[in-house]
Amino acid sequence: MKSFDIRTKIFFGDNALDRILELHYKKIMVITDPFIAKSPLLPQVTERLQQAYIDFSIFSDVVPDPPLDKISAGVKKLLELDPDCVIALGGGSAIDSAKAIREFAVRANGKDIALIAIPTTSGTGSEVTSFSVVTDTEKNMKYPLVSESMLPTEAILDAELVKTVPASVTADTGMDVLTHAIEAYVSVNNNEFSAALAEKAIEICGTFLLRSYLDNNDTHARKKMHVASCLAGLAFNSASLGLNHGIAHAVGARFHIPHGRANAIVLPHVIEFNSGINKHSKSRKDYPKCVEKYCNIAKLLGVNNFNEITTIRALVGWIHFMNEEMSIPLSISQCGVERKEYMNAVEQMAEKAIADACTATNPRVPSKADVCLILEHMYD
Ligand SMILES: NC(=O)c1ccc[n+]([C@@H]2O[C@H](COP(=O)([O-])OP(=O)(O)OC[C@H]3O[C@@H](n4cnc5c(N)ncnc54)[C@H](O)[C@@H]3O)[C@@H](O)[C@H]2O)c1
Ligand SMILES: [Fe+2]
């Protein structure tokens, strides 16, 4: 038996932030990062809280790829403040921090606290997922924590907040959206509901990701990508992800490569691995099941070709094209990582990628040797 539900109520479209004016909480803790705390983004939320006569405090000690010590500092602060609602304002790092902080605080004092997620990047979909990715800086490891109790109560998608995202972050986070949708679509846990959400997210990425990268003022494209990010989040919250995220977590934690960028570099390699198709492939009678799914994805992106091999090749080529167009490095060496240091870390990263919770739903079960080979190919 399977089930599907969307627990988070989603507010979206023009003036979605006005949802804040309707809130009735007594005290709100706003969790954000230091950049957003100093930017004109924060007043868009706090001015509305003032208009709604809601008492609030700001916690802005969030850092990218939230480490465990920052989470525990946040838990301490939350227990001191004792709010009845948390607002997470920011990219995946702020939202994941808020999810983990609230989760640990609720476990500590048993009091229910609402969580409203307001994303300022179009990327992680964290506003609707039960995942929170935290980093153990001593062990250089990223852990995806997964618990339904971490699902936000509400998500507010207001594209006004993503206008200021710099082009390189639009590129990285946009490729994260695409990777979520593709991995959910080919996951062994995929189902009709997750597939419908993933297909729409892929279609939007195909039309609007490059547009929103090339022109910051293309508000239509930004609005579309903001919705796509959430759709892809809903898709993988149901179907989960795959080896792409397993490898991206391992490489990202070890060499401090932004999450979306790491996914973008891994993506062509994992598609070739899962499909068993690369530039040397010849036509076969039978293909793995996921090949048909990748062909559907290629069709949604308008790059389907006359047979399975040419279509998978075209899909991989399209991803290379997108990465190049958006100045995303095509390899780890282009990220400035030293060869020897990287190659020495390959085995350990492969073990971490295989142990990562996301890898469990990959359509092809990878051996350690398979992952080592992918990691080596990713370098040049
Ligand atoms: N929970 C999930 O389901 C999930 C899924 C994928 C990734 N993640 C995690 O999310 C994190 C990455 O999140 P992200 O890609 O959104 O990046 P991020 O939150 O780290 O933000 C990237 C940078 O963009 C800046 N920024 C954010 N919004 C901005 C705006 N509107 N204008 C200008 N600058 C802005 C931030 O200050 C930061 O410097 C990683 O830790 C990743 O592992 C979580
Ligand atoms: Fe991701």
- What secondary structure, in 3-state letters, does 309-335 show? HHHHHHHHHHHHHHHHHCCCCCCCHHH
Same domain flag for 70 and 46: yes
In whole angstroms, what is the distance from residue 37 CA to residue 151 CA? 24
In whole angstroms, what is the distance from residue 95 CA to residue 15 CA? 21
Residue-wise pLDDT tens digits, 336-369: 999 999 999 999 999 999 999 999 999 999 999 9
Residue-wise pLDDT tens digits, 172-204: 999 999 999 999 999 999 999 999 999 999 999
Note whether 66 and 252 are within 8 A (CB): no
Residue-averaged pLDDT of the chain: 96
Same domain flag for 335 and 219: yes
Q: Angle 232-234-240 (CA atoms, 0-180°, nearest 5)?
A: 85
Residue 259 lies in a domain: yes
In whole angstroms, what is the distance from residue 119 CA to residue 89 CA? 6
Structural domain including 97 reads 9-164
Give the ligand with the smallest distance to the CA of 131.
Answer: 1
From the CB of 237, is ligand 1 less than 6 Å away? no
From the CB of 93, is ligand 1 less than 6 Å away? yes
- What is the pLDDT averaged over residues 140-153? 91
Residue-wise pLDDT tens digits, 207-227: 999 999 999 899 999 999 999
Cβ < 5 A residues, ion ligand 2: 176
Note whether 251 and 159 are within 8 A (CB): no
Note whether 191 and 240 are within 8 A (CB): no
Same domain flag for 207 and 328: yes
- Quote the radius of gyration of the chain (alpha carbons, Å): 20
Same domain flag for 180 and 149: no
Same domain flag for 153 and 192: no
Same domain flag for 294 and 366: yes
In whole angstroms, what is the distance from residue 263 CA to residue 252 CA? 9
Q: Which residues have a Cβ under 8 Å from the Cβ of 189 and sit 6 or more positions away?
A: 238, 239, 240, 361
Which of 199, 230, 57, 3 is CA-nearest to residue 128? 230
Same domain flag for 91 and 225: no
C-beta neighbour count of 278 within 10 angstroms: 16
pLDDT at 243 exceeding the cut of 90: yes
**Among candidate residues 144, 164, 184, the one where a domain is terminated:** 164
Give the Å distances, CA to CA, from 151 to 131, 170, 233. 8, 25, 11
CATH of the domain at 284: 1.20.1090.10
Note whether 30 and 45 are within 8 A (CB): yes
Please report which confidence band the pLDDT of residue 141 belongs to, taking 50, 70 and 90 as the band edges: confident
Same domain flag for 218 and 185: yes
Instruction: Give the 3-state secondary structure of residue 58.
Output: strand
> How far does the centroid of ligand 1 lie from the alpha carbon of residue 310, in Å?
35
Closest Cα to atom 2 of ligand 1: 126
| Pocket residue to mutate for ligand 1, from 60, 101, 124, 150, most atoms within 8 A of Cβ | 124
Which of 278, 180, 311, 177 is CA-nearest to residue 237? 180
Q: Please report how the helices 308-325 and 289-300 are oriented relative to each other, as an axis angle in degrees rounded to 10.
A: 50
In whole angstroms, what is the distance from residue 95 CA to residue 91 CA? 6
Residue 199 lies in a domain: yes
> How far does the centroid of ligand 1 lie from the alpha carbon of residue 64, in Å?
7
In the chain, the number of structural domains is: 2
**What's the pLDDT at 139?**
87
- What is the pLDDT averaged over residues 3-26? 97
Give the ligand with the smallest distance to the CA of 259.
Answer: 1
CATH of the domain at 153: 3.40.50.1970
- Render the burial of 346-365: b for 16+ CB within 10 Å, e for the rest: beebbebbbebbbbbbbbbe
Note whether 99 and 115 are within 8 A (CB): yes
Instruction: Give the 3-state secondary structure of residue 326.
Output: coil
Please report which confidence band the pLDDT of residue 289 belongs to, taking 50, 70 and 90 as the band edges: very high
Q: Which two tokens stand for residue 312?
A: 């998978």
Q: Which residues have a Cβ under 8 Å from the Cβ of 317 and sit 6 or more positions away?
A: 303
**What's the pLDDT at 40?**
97
From the CB of 263, is ligand 1 less than 6 Å away? no
| Pocket residue to mutate for ligand 1, from 142, 169, 179, 352, most atoms within 8 A of Cβ | 169
| Amino acid symbol at 287 | Y
